A and B are shown apart, each in its own frame.
Chain A
Amino acid sequence: MSRVGTFLKQYWMFVALGFLLVYPLIWRAPYYHVLGFNTLIVATAATGWNILGGYTGYKSLGHSTFFGINAYLVAITANELGWNPLWSAPLLALGVTVVALVLGWIMARAKGSAFVIATIAMLLIFRLLALNVKSVTGGAPGLSQPLAPWSPEYSRMPFYYYMLFWLVIALLVSAYIRRSRFGLGLLAIRDDEGKANMVGVNTTLSKVLAFGVSAYFIALGGGIWSYAQTHIAPIFAFSILNDVDTVLATMLGGLGTLWGPVLGAFILIPGSDYILFNFGASQFHLAVFGVLMVVIILFLPRGILPSLRDRLAARRETSSAFTGASTMEDLSDSQPRGEVPGREAPAP
């Protein structure tokens, strides 16, 4: 392998983070800052969603409920109490997480497609509430809140860096869970829930906790999105399209992998924006989403990262077979695995 390749293999995380840190300084037009901010929101949400949908195997299509709730909480507390969303968003997201734990406890009784439908119903109920409890939410026209105090010229840059910080936190939490006994229990639930219960995993508690943690990072994004938008309405705050973004990003990058959701978001959101930009502000990008979903399921059912990893492993195996691996152990030694049972993150 070339020296650049070796360097990238070891330090790619810092290279990627470095790039994301300087990105808004190189591309200075507000458009790029908005795009970056939106991508980071989806990447953070997808990283959170993956803890429930990927690790645990419970695929929620209603987690933008928590995005919406926190968007409203941030707007209302900013208007009524003058709370600054930069600190109130992560704080209020904790409150939303408590709501999510209660809802998760109800939802997690359903399995498979029944669970998916239950989560969609949850989203629709909260959207109806937002539309109709007008004294609190302002009804269909929505709510406005104060503008961010900094110059409009850089309006999105602080949001961008703020969300980048939270993406790093989300990844740390995801990696930590993956390596913990709790995370191993989640993976076991995904593979065989009844068996996991039988060998001593408290499956209900695990599922509810996973539901809550995944809700936190989605709620957080909703709160900051609310501040950045300055005006929110039920059809955008409680939209299943937010869930579609999150789920599609995760599945594209690699369901149940640490980095997959982030990779997926960084392909999907700029890609969909490109289509929107070049083919008019129609609903065309939604059709592209639909086709993309079919293509992923047909050709990359496990997402980009796991497929790439399999291909690399297969290539390594053939090459070591040529150089004369004599036993199965030689072959397995050529594919080092992590020492921790949380199944180490696949190298991209």
Chain B
Amino acid sequence: MSTVLQTEGLVKHFGGIVAVDSCTIDVEQGDITGLIGPNGSGKTTLFNLITGVYRPDSGRVSILGRKATGLESHKICHLGLSRTFQITRLFWELTVLENMIVPVRKVGLRPLFGPGMLGDELDRAMELLARVGLTHLKDERADNLSFGQQKLLEFAAVLMAKPDVVLLDEPAGGVNPTMIRFIMDLIRSLNAEGVTFLVVEHNMSMIMELSDRVIVMDQGRTIADGTPAEVQNNPLVLEAYLGS
């Protein structure tokens, strides 16, 4: 098994606050890796450092063996890593189908000026929409969708870029239990098709059930790394969550 995502000694300061403090993680191909930690432990900042939203103060990121430190977000996407956001972000004035078509893994100049929607892209978009049950809403504007539908759309749209690795930032946040089941099944079936996942989630039963491996962060560092069972019994983790 090879490492598809690796960070080495990532550091990010905001003023006097150290949000991420020499954080080193690696994500193995084909795994569903959970990333947990108390609020403010630096999980989302780590996502932002990996995906080019912030530049790290020091440290390195590599994706599929390629150097990815400080690259612009679209280049990260072209390397094969996509993400969703903690607070769902969509192109609100575009339709559901248009939201699906915007994401691309790689686009040269010729396709850039070609028609917006190519046949095979359209087929793939419709297939993914069917998978998340949004086919009947394809011509609806994104801001007319319900919260849960928006979350599903963001997830499905990210897959249009054919990513090798997907970072999910709280996929189950604010979602009802039936939908959580649905999202878990979706992650599992995509994983079976070869997509690697790194999932930030506060829903512990979900993350423990879903993950092959769990990484725990506290105060910007990784404090534990192992199978769900190992992590649950790690005294450092209990201390981080409950206080000593």
**A residues at B contact (CB < 8 Å):** 179-185, 187-188, 190-192, 194-204, 328-329, 332, 337, 339-343
Contacts and interface: CB of A to CB of B under 8 A. Distances in A.
Interface of B: 51-53, 72-74, 76-78, 82-83, 85, 89-95, 97-98, 101-107, 111-117, 136, 139-140, 157-158, 160-161
Contacts of B161: 199-200
Contacts of B117: 339-341
Given A185-B102, A199-B102, A199-B161, A194 B73 contact: yes
A51 to B, nearest CB: 13
A180 to B, nearest CB: 5
A125 to B, nearest CB: 29
Contacts of A196: 91, 102
A181 B112 contact: yes
Nearest to B76: A198
What secondary structure prevails in chain B residues at the interface with A?
loop
Contacts of B136: 328-329
A198 B77 contact: yes
A197 B113 contact: no
Given A192-B89, A192-B91, A343-B94, A201 B113 contact: no
- Residue of B92, B94, B140, B157 most packed against chain A (CB within 10 A): B94
Contacts of A199: 74, 77, 82, 102-104, 157-158, 160-161
B90 A182 contact: no
B85 to A, nearest CB: 7
Nearest to A199: B103
B79 to A, nearest CB: 10
B116 A184 contact: yes
Given A182-B113, A184-B98, A194-B73, A200 B91 contact: no
Given A184-B101, A202-B72, 19 more contacts: A181-B114, A181-B116, A182-B112, A184-B94, A191-B92, A197-B72, A197-B73, A198-B51, A198-B82, A198-B83, A200-B78, A200-B105, A201-B102, A329-B136, A332-B139, A337-B95, A337-B139, A340-B116, A340-B117
A200 B77 contact: yes
B104 A201 contact: yes
Nearest to B84: A198
B74 A195 contact: no
Contacts of A194: 53, 73, 89
Contacts of A328: 136
A34 B158 CA distance: 52
24 contacts: A179-B115, A180-B113, A180-B114, A180-B116, A181-B101, A181-B116, A182-B113, A185-B112, A188-B94, A191-B92, A192-B90, A192-B92, A195-B91, A198-B51, A198-B73, A198-B82, A199-B77, A199-B103, A340-B117, A341-B94, A341-B117, A342-B116, A343-B94, A343-B95
A203 B114 CA distance: 18
Contacts of B157: 199
